[in-house]
Chains A and B, each alone.
Chain A
Amino acid sequence: MEDGAAAEASLQENLIVDRYYKKAFSRGLRLLWKAISQHTLELIGRFNILALSPRAAVSSLSGGNIQKVVVARELSSDPEVVIASQPTRGIDVGSEELVHTLLKEARDNGKAVFLTSADLDEILKLSNRILVIYNGELVAHFRDVAGITAKDLGPYMLGVQREEAVSGEVRP
């Protein structure tokens, strides 16, 4: 939220930072605010952001909603790869659900989603594969996560156990 949003800028200004120069939103040097507002309203609807208007300052939103703004912007740019680092830290349960749904949606649409988190429940809930890093080294790679619990991950996380040869092949 610190780096992903500009608190004093408006909602719509925050949402177009990675796309303001595109043809839909600008003609040469001129910004097309009507199109930008329209786009913002669409995103507000799609990602269920609670805000007074596209011109409202982002600082007037709740923490969870600010997170939704960032997620909305990143996911709506239709990325091939999504890197989500602590995506739901500090936000309310409802928004957390929404972010999880969106990440799963991205995965189901064939995008590569790389999730790093300290929240084990989140990882266990969402992941197809789990990698554990200890002290800067890859120490475990669970290709099949059915039935895995926090207890299975623990020893690797503590450095007590490590797989002999960990390969990072990407085949699903």
Chain B
Amino acid sequence: MEKFVLKYFNLIRTIIAILIGLVISVFLIYVVSKDPTFSLKQFLLGPLLSRGRFSNMIETTSPILFCGLAIAVAFQARQFNVGAEGSLYLGAAVGTAFAVSTRMPAFLHIPLVLLVAAAVGAAWNFIPGVLKAKLKASELVSSLMLNYVAYFLGLYLINFHFRDKKAGYLVSLQLPATAWLQQFIPNTRIHWGIVLSLVFAVLVYFFLYHSTTGYEVRMTGFNEKFARFGGIRVSRVVILSQVILGLIAGIGGMTEVMGIHHRFNWQDFPGPGYGWDGVIVAIIGRNHPLLIIAASFFLAYMRVGGQVLTLMSDVPAEMVTVIQSMIILLITAEAFLSRWRYSITVREAAR
């Protein structure tokens, strides 16, 4: 039994962190709500109780998963680039502009639009990559700043050049139907982009763990000097890992536009926030693509739970943010439960 615990210690620790987070959420809901049992039920069971909400959970997973994968690739190289938000936003904006201005059959239109978004996203995060590789400038700060710049650039592009003047509010022109990702389950908005996100998860897994470049990324992340002395071109890895982040995030943003909204309608400052969700699930999933799938579902579950909560009860949805952040804190605390692991290790060694 204890051997099992040791082997899967990190996974068990993550699960315990999540459980503690949920316990705290129960406590908080009791404090905040006037009808805690009702609120709790809405939060924990809400996403499961209706077809609409359950499918909502699956739909929400997609952009989160894309961004989680994007961030994970950079984090695996120890590049603290948080620019998934910027690439997602600008990639989707430029992709929308392209989709709206071109006419071609769907089998060409869809991949080309995605390609444009991917290219823009990749190019956008090339900047922090090259600044880090050539000038040793913090990719954290530069990607943070560029997120904001991307927001304003994308907003300008859409609101000044691709605005739907016939709509009653600020939004882009609608994408031609040839650029839509089909929703294939009736009564839901589940679209092929969601399938694409799962495909990408598998691709990123193979990339990181079965390809030479992925190996370079991971070794650079483990120990940069070690990688360099081994012959790996570290500056290339630094740039490439961040470019890949931008590419995946760009696609993630575009699939959301193509599959759910069919317009670019992210007007609120500083953006839809999927990029930061990506950081959350990358941390929870310890940068492993397959774990990130689970983490993304979990986050989407909590998000939808939070929406149900805020709709049906008196607890604001931001409670979910509070709970998520506490879970991440516990997960990043390496020493959390370390004494437990230590005592088990000692007992196992004695056997």
Contact = CB atoms under 8 A, between A and B. Distances in A.
Do chains A and B directly touch (beta carbons under 8 Å) in the complex?
A: yes
Contacts of A31: 210-212, 215
A7 B219 CA distance: 10
Interface in B259-282: none
B223 interface: yes
A98 interface: no
A3 B212 contact: no
B287 to A, nearest CB: 12
A29 B211 contact: yes
Contact of B212 (A4, A5, A8, A26): A26
Interface residues of A, number: 19
Nearest to A3: B225
Contacts of B105: none
B336 interface: no
Contacts of B215: 13, 20, 31
Q: Main SS of chain B's interface residues?
A: helix
Interface string A13-48: 110011011000010011101000000000000000
Nearest to B216: A20
Contacts of B227: 6, 17
Interface string B192-226: 00000000000000000011110100110011011
B210 A3 contact: no
Contacts of B340: none
B227 to A, nearest CB: 7
A92 B9 CA distance: 30
B231 A13 contact: no
Given A3-B225, A4-B229, A5-B226, A13 B212 contact: no
A98 to B, nearest CB: 22
30 contacts: A2-B225, A3-B223, A3-B225, A3-B226, A4-B226, A5-B226, A6-B219, A6-B223, A7-B223, A8-B222, A9-B218, A9-B219, A9-B223, A13-B215, A17-B226, A17-B230, A17-B231, A17-B232, A18-B230, A20-B212, A20-B215, A21-B212, A26-B212, A29-B212, A30-B210, A30-B211, A30-B212, A31-B210, A31-B211, A31-B212
